[in-house]
Each structure stands twice: as structure tokens, then as C-alpha cells.
A and B are shown apart, each in its own frame.
Chain A
Amino acid sequence: MTGNKTGWFVTAAITAALLGYTLVGDDEYTQHLLMWSALNAVLAVGLRFMLLVGETNIATGAFYGMGAYVAAVFTTKWNLPFPLALLAGGVLAVGVGALFGVITLRTKGPYFMLISFAFTEVVRLIYTRVEWLGGNSGIIGVFPPQGLDPYMPALTILLCGALILMMYLCEASNLGRVFQAIENNDAIVETVGIDVMHVKLLCLVIAAFALGVAGANHAFVYNVISPGDFSYLVPVFALAYVKIGGDNHVAGSILGAVLLTVLAQALQGAGALQHILFGGAIIASMLVLPDGIWGGVGRLLRKARGGAA
């Protein structure tokens, strides 16, 4: 799949167009929309990354939140430089993630999902109890350095794009095949001498890094963070982005994230209607398009090509 030249070309073209737009265009609303979509795309791809080994990891939300809090603390309390704050988000997430993984990856499937759910909620509750982190109100005033501020959209797209690319390359490599093998039948993988726990841990750590950095980015994009921003609903929505976009390919997760971010913004403030339409979109796609939009489009294209040939 790495050899798919059309795919690379299209991706590069779209990225270039987006970057160009963010640097030249002046519609602030759209720029913000792009940033939010980019961050949600990393959430979706990060969550999907662990789905590759067959685990639904709700704690991806906790890793994201940790990255945000680290960046906020580095900037507002310790006055440390911007790039360091971004990196620190990833580093902390990796540290906590590794510890979490070593302890919990011995469980699987629904048990692992529920324990990751519990972990995410505990972390959120701890944020609400710790005064130094702002308690329930969180932290405000998380700004990038002044000169960088107008370039935040471009920077966000580049950074998120790089994180997604990193995960995609891992998936396309032999490591990704081992992930797939573990998801298929982990007992077989063990018989050929590959330690499944270690590989799952590696998968988790890679995702944690990406999510931690993206979380740090999130803090600088939104400028204000609070515990409520990182509840279990965040990774649950990310899961919806993955499924609706199509879980067979990374592009599906990106597509799902963009579409649903835009939809959520369009429905902002519509009260009951927001719930109904958003929920309805998820239901409709699950019932009508089980392999998501990307899968559906793929099928259509194949039919068209098959018909023409």
C-alpha cells in the first residue's frame, strides 16, 4: 500500500492546498475548523492504531488530555518554550501509557476496553481534584509564542499530518503486519517467537506519543482546557469517526473526523437537534455503511472500474 503512487500524490496535493489556504486565506472560522478537524483526525487515527491489534483503547482520550495539561503547565506555570511543551506532551503520555500498558494489556477485548474507560474517568476526576491544575475550571491562557500565532493553523496541520504519517508508516511496515496477525490469532504469533505483549505495548506507546503531542497542540489551539474536555466521550466520538469514515484505511479515519467535526460545528447551539442529528448520523452510517464511507466509496469505484472494463 505504501507503493500506491496515486494515493501519495493526492495526499500531498490536498495537504499542500490546505497549507496554502491557511497561510493565505483570512476566514478565521474555516481556519479554526481545519485545526479542530486535524486534531480530531489524530484522535481517530490514534484510536484506530490500537484497533489494529484488536484492542479498543478508551485511554487514548487520557493520553490526549495529559498532553494538553502538560503543555498548559509548561507554558503558563513554568514558562518553558513552545516546542518543548509539545514534545513533553508526547513524552509524558508515553511514560504513563507504558506503565498503564504493562499493567493492563494482560486483559483483552471487553475487559481491556472497560478498564481503559475506567482509567480515563479516574484521570479526569483527578484533574478536578487537583487545585494546581485548576480543578474543575482547568487552565486558561495557553498561547503559542506571539510570532507563531498567525501560523498556528498551518503548524497544526503539519504537526497532525506528521503524526498521522508516522502511524501510517508503522502500519504499512512489517510491524503493522504483526499487529494484524495478533488481531487475527495471537496464539500463532507466539508460536513463531514474537512476544505479543511486547508488541501490543509498542503499539500503545506509539499511539500514546502521537496523542500526547496532539493533545499539547490542542491546548495551544483552544487556549483553554478543563477536565470536561477529556472525558470518555472524546475517544468514544473518535471511535465513531473511525467507523463512519471506514476502518479499513487511515484515510477513512481522517474523513470521518473531518465530516463529523464539521457536522458538530454546524449543529452547534441547536440543542436537541444537535443530539438527534449527530446521533442519527452515527446510527445511519452503522446501519447502512458498515465499512464506512471510505469502504462504500471504494466499492462504488470498484464497480465503476469493473463495469467499464
Chain B
Amino acid sequence: MALSVGLFAQLLVNTLQIGAVYVLFALGLTLVFGVMKVINFAHGQFFTLAALVIAATMPEFTARFGMPAWLDYFVCFGLAFIIVGILGAVLYFVGFERYLRDLVGSFILSVGLLLFLEGIYLWLFGGAPRVVPKLLEGQVSLAGGAMESQRLVICAIALAATAALYQLVAKTRMGKALRAVAEDREAAMLQGIRYRRISFYGFMIGSGLAAISGGLIAPLTAITPALGNDYLAKAFIIIIIGGLGSIPGAILGGFLIAAVESFAGYFLDLSYATIAMFVLVMVFLLVRPQGILGVAER
């Protein structure tokens, strides 16, 4: 099967679109690890909740206020964001704060949370797949193929959000504090950075990113309470390849995985592509455990 320019372009756009969502999701996971040294297995539950809230509330809004779909979407997106934020704060104060820097303990807690929340979602929203109504009509011609307009817009928003986050981490004081704590907690504390406070902000930003990516994926897929689980496994691969705790690494890794999925998935069976990804991860961990852009520990 030859790779024509048109096909290549389509796969590339697909990569960008899938990748942007992966990146946002993985960024949240890696940020939380970098600052709190915690691997949050329940990270996907924020993602899922955002998507579920949007899918559940949009029909209500449309019925009551009769606004255009895309406006409804933004309002419900905001609502979802707030709800996830509240959940994140609760989980932090009730649970994760106690297990800061405890890898195994926080991991188990998050496994419990994953199950618990999935059960709650099943109970509240039911297991039947939900779909978000179309936001934008029409298609766009792109390099010999056609893509849905809304897909393109969402891709653009995701990329913009990624860029915004990168700026946030690189330029703002908060961002610098997050990076300082991730690199050397004691040195950061000596400089007056309040660790507990930064951990909280890091966790909130992490869950916010999961919410945003969940909201962005909502119009593009069928939503069930188990939605986050697949993304979680991929996010693990991404942050390993990119380097645990590394933000540029998560961005690089996210697009890399999306590329492998797009291209390898098109030419080969998806399972083989997945196996290949996992083997890649293992090789990475052996050859360069700190990831492409991570910092080596000694």
C-alpha cells in the first residue's frame, strides 16, 4: 500500500488531532507526578466525568434555552470544568495530600478511586454510550481528503491549549515554582516555595487538563463510564517515553504515540501497533529511563 501525499497528509492531520488530546491528558498526569511524585491511576476519571457531564447536560440546555449547539457546548464545558475542579479538590484534601511522595500508597488509593468513581458514574449516568450532538456542520477539504469541520476546530483548540499550558509553565511564577519543586523539592522549599500549596495547585492543574481533554474528546467519540481507561494506558506510555515529570517530554511523547497509532494502525493491525508501542516503552526504559527529555536520577 503506497503512501501517497494525500494519505500522508490525512494521517498527519489525524495524528495532530488525536495527539493534541493525548498530550493534554498526559500533561496532567506527568505534572502531578513531577510535583507530587504520585502516579494517579484515577486521572482518567476526571477525563471521563467531563465528557459525561457535557453529554448529559447538553440535551437539557438545548431543550430549555434553544441556543445553538456550539454555545451549549461551551456552557456545559464550563460546568463540567467546575464540577471536575470540585472533585479534584475533594480528592486532594481527603486522600492524595496524605500520600504525597508515597508511590505505592497513592497508587493503591488511586486504584480504589478508579473503581469507586467508575461505579458512581455507572450509577449516575448508566452504562449506555452517549453522544454529543453535532456542533458544527460541514466538512473541510484537506490535502485531497475531507475532514469534519468540528474535528478541525477542536484540534485547533487543543493545540492552542497545549501552547497556552506550555507558556504557563515556562513563563509564569506558578509554572516556575512547579518546575522547581519537580526538580528538587528541598531546594525549592529553601527558596520559600510552599510545597503543600504547590502540590495542590499542581494537582488541580493536572485534573483541569484531564477535564479539558475530556471535554474536547466528547464531541468526537461515544462516551461511556469506562472511557478514561484506554486513554490512561496510553498516557502511561507517553509519560514514560517523554520522561516522568517532563512537560516537553509529554508533548513529544503524545504526538509520537498518536503518530504510531495513526500510521501503524492504518497499515497494520491495531494490536500489533499496541504491542510495538509497549515494547518501545520497555526498550526506552532500559536504554534511557529518564525518557527523551527527562533528567536522570543518580
Contacts and interface: CB of A to CB of B under 8 A. Distances in A.
Interface of A: 51, 56, 103-104, 106-107, 109-111, 113-115, 117-119, 121-122, 125-126, 128-129, 236-237, 239-240, 243, 271-283, 286-287, 290
Given A113-B103, A243-B104, A125 B271 contact: yes
Nearest to A278: B115
Contacts of B272: 129
Interface residues of B toward A: which range?
Answer: 35 or more
A283 B109 contact: yes
Contact of A271 (B95, B115, B122): B122
B279 interface: yes
B107 A239 contact: yes
Given A111-B285, A276-B119, A51 B104 contact: yes
A282 B278 contact: no
A107 B285 contact: yes
Interface string B143-169: 000000000000000000000000000
A279 B113 contact: yes
B116 A104 contact: no
Contacts of A129: 271-272, 275
A203 B131 CA distance: 49
B116 A279 contact: yes
A279 B289 contact: no
A211 to B, nearest CB: 19
Nearest to B99: A286
Which among A118, A237, A243 has the highest number of chain B CB atoms within 10 Å? A118
Contacts of A56: 103-104, 107
Contacts of A283: 95, 109, 112-113, 116
Contacts of B281: 114-115, 118
B39 A280 contact: no
Contact of A240 (B98, B103, B112, B274): B112
B190 interface: no
B149 to A, nearest CB: 36
B105 interface: yes
B105 A119 contact: no
A160 B108 CA distance: 25
Contacts of B104: 51, 56, 239, 243
B111 to A, nearest CB: 5
